[in-house]
Chains A and B, each alone.
Chain A
Amino acid sequence: MGEDLDKLKIQVNNLNLWYSSFQALKDVNASFKERLITAIIGPSGCGKTTLLRVFNRMNDLVEGVRVAGTVMVDGINVIAPDTDLMTLRRKIGMVFQRPNPFPLSTYENVVFGPRIHGRAGKNELDDIAEKSLQAVLLWDELKDRLDKPALSLSLEQQQRLCIARLIAVRSDILLLDEPCSALDPQATQAIEELMRGLKNNYTLIVVTHNMQQAARVSDETGFMLLGELIEFGETDQIFTRPRDKRTEDYITGRFG
């Protein structure tokens, strides 16, 4: 696995994005390595969410979006118009700021993805549900209550469940958009731990407002400002020896 660690999973080249006439991403270049956690930090409105949503093409849902540049995921340009979005989104899963389980049972939430992708055997689904919930450390807690509505779970459990949904469709890249901002400190810590554990098998990109969190969990960090990626590098370096004055100002709390 040693040499695998440096394989590039996502390569972003000259990425520009406009919401109608407003340019939200400006010439972004970055590489995301396989099986690492990369954090994206920056003040509110700088385009973190927008960048994340380029990777799984969720921006397509917004009217008037225009994208230029390339985003290579495993060597394939996902910006290309002929990209199969169903397959892409299955490969690149997304966790949202507020946990958003469907108003269905816990079990149905986990097997939602496999079901829509055509896997229907009861045994197979049971198996997927068990493995996925185990991966997010929910199985022992919930194995006797799989038919309870997912919305009755605690927020932390809901967020874990949302991650389990992605594991169930065998995503290999996980995009997490401020996954802990709705959680209390204890739950935040638990999710961070989970993220560290998932790193062995998945490539994680996490957007966060919380610089301590970025410093704690990530291997690499990108700092964005007004649509530009100002600095990108190893987390240690970004937080201890930032090259750009603006990065330094941000991480020392001079604005944000």
Chain B
Amino acid sequence: MRRLKEFVLQKIVLLCGVASILFVALIFLFLVKEGLNVFKAVSPSHFLLGRSWYPISEPAQFGILPLILGSLLVTAGATVISVAIGVACAVYIAEVARPAVRETLKVGIELLAAIPSIVLGFIGMVTLVPWVKKIFHLPTGLTALSGSIMLAFMAMPTIVSIAEDALHAVPRSYKEGAYALGATRWQTIHRVILRAASPGIAAAVMLGIGRVIGETMAVMMITGNAAVIPHGILQPVRTLTATIAGEMGEAAVGSEHYYALFAIGTLLFVISFGINVTADLLLHKRRS
């Protein structure tokens, strides 16, 4: 009886494990199968490099370059902001702060992670957007920059906590060696500790960005949603994710538009997957 129970349990666990892989594979297959249909209407190069996205005009145009650039711009901006602030914050927590301050900050960072992204988006819309408009004297504050700042906040908790782990894992002996040579605290941090922790920090950044690249609603709310090729970070843009979220409801099942959205989904899947795998490799490199 007992052995039967063991056996059944074991199989159930195995099944769950296999199922999770299977689901990912199925989702990917489904995305690709639906997405590939778009290439009956438009060639891959026109799809990826086309400069106009007019999915419902006659004739429809399915060029996603503006969307790719919109995503890139928002993500790149978010990366710069979150790396600068996130790494500085991790260094402060790991190397400078007194224990009491450190614990408080860590709790604060965790709380930031607990805020639902839609709430962040909505706070951004009523506070950040007007600020951006005022500071840069723009006709609208709904810009790529607003989206970048928003996403940076979302990526920050991941970046800070993983980067802090990496900094913590730097052997004490490196630090002592630097101090014993007469290095100041700052020299020790930037010449030894940051370098020693750099693979872990890179992984932290990748995971942070990987987490927000698929972020949709908050970005859609504050980036202005204009599917045009952006010429700067102070212009409205539209991201790949926002496009899917905004248009899936109105695209008729089986239409070219519908397939195009699936193709965008496939592209997003591939990008996220690539980023996560790279981050994983970096973390493993650090451990071995």
Instruction: Assess whether A18 is interfacial by the CB under 8 Å rule.
Output: no
Docked CA distance A212–B162 (Å) = 47
The listed residue (A89, A101, A103) touching B182 by CB distance below 8 A is A89
Contact present for B176 and A113 (CB under 8 Å) = no
Inter-chain contacts of B180 with A (CB < 8 A): 56, 58, 89, 93-94, 96
Contact present for B187 and A100 (CB under 8 Å) = no
Nearest CB of B to A49, in Å: 12
Residues A96 and B182 in contact in the complex (CB < 8 Å), given A103-B195, A116-B191: no
Closest to A90 in B: B182
Instruction: Assess whether A165 is interfacial by the CB under 8 Å rule.
Output: yes
Instruction: Assess whether A169 is interfacial by the CB under 8 Å rule.
Output: yes
Q: How many A-B residue pairs have CB under 8 A?
A: 63
Contact present for B179 and A61 (CB under 8 Å) = yes
Name the interface residues of A110-133: CB closer than 8 Å to any CB of B.
112-113, 115-117
Docked CA distance A85–B184 (Å) = 9
Which of A93, A96, A112 has the largest count of B CB atoms less than 10 A from its CB?
A: A112
Docked CA distance A96–B179 (Å) = 12
Residues A102 and B182 in contact in the complex (CB < 8 Å), given A112-B191, A116-B187, A116-B191: no
Inter-chain contacts of A165 with B (CB < 8 A): 177, 181
Inter-chain contacts of A85 with B (CB < 8 A): 182
Q: How many chain B residues have a CB neighbour from A under 8 Å?
A: 17
Instruction: Assess whether A86 is interfacial by the CB under 8 Å rule.
Output: yes
Proximity string of chain B (185-210) to chain A, C-beta cutoff 8 Å, 1 when within and 0 when not: 00100011001100000000000000
Inter-chain contacts of B173 with A (CB < 8 A): 96, 98, 100
Instruction: Assess whether B120 is interfacial by the CB under 8 Å rule.
Output: no
Q: How many chain A residues have a CB neighbour from B under 8 Å?
A: 27
Instruction: Assess whether B174 is interfacial by the CB under 8 Å rule.
Output: yes
Contact present for B177 and A100 (CB under 8 Å) = yes
Nearest CB of B to A46, in Å: 21
Instruction: Assess whether B29 is interfacial by the CB under 8 Å rule.
Output: no
Inter-chain contacts of A113 with B (CB < 8 A): 181-182
Instruction: Assess whether B178 is interfacial by the CB under 8 Å rule.
Output: yes
Nearest CB of B to A92, in Å: 9
Closest to A58 in B: B180
Instruction: Assess whether B27 is interfacial by the CB under 8 Å rule.
Output: no
Instruction: Assess whether A39 is interfacial by the CB under 8 Å rule.
Output: no
The listed residue (A89, A102, A115) touching B179 by CB distance below 8 A is A89
Closest to A162 in B: B177
Docked CA distance A165–B176 (Å) = 13
Instruction: Assess whether A252 is interfacial by the CB under 8 Å rule.
Output: no
Residue positions of B touching A, CB distance < 8 A = 171, 173-174, 176-184, 187, 191-192, 195-196
Residue positions of A touching B, CB distance < 8 A = 56, 58, 61, 85-90, 93-94, 96, 98, 100-104, 112-113, 115-117, 162, 165-166, 169
Sampled A-B contacts (27; CB under 8 Å): A61-B176, A86-B182, A86-B183, A88-B182, A89-B181, A89-B182, A90-B181, A90-B182, A93-B181, A100-B173, A100-B174, A100-B176, A101-B177, A102-B195, A102-B196, A103-B196, A104-B195, A112-B178, A112-B191, A113-B181, A113-B182, A116-B182, A116-B191, A162-B177, A165-B181, A169-B181, A169-B182
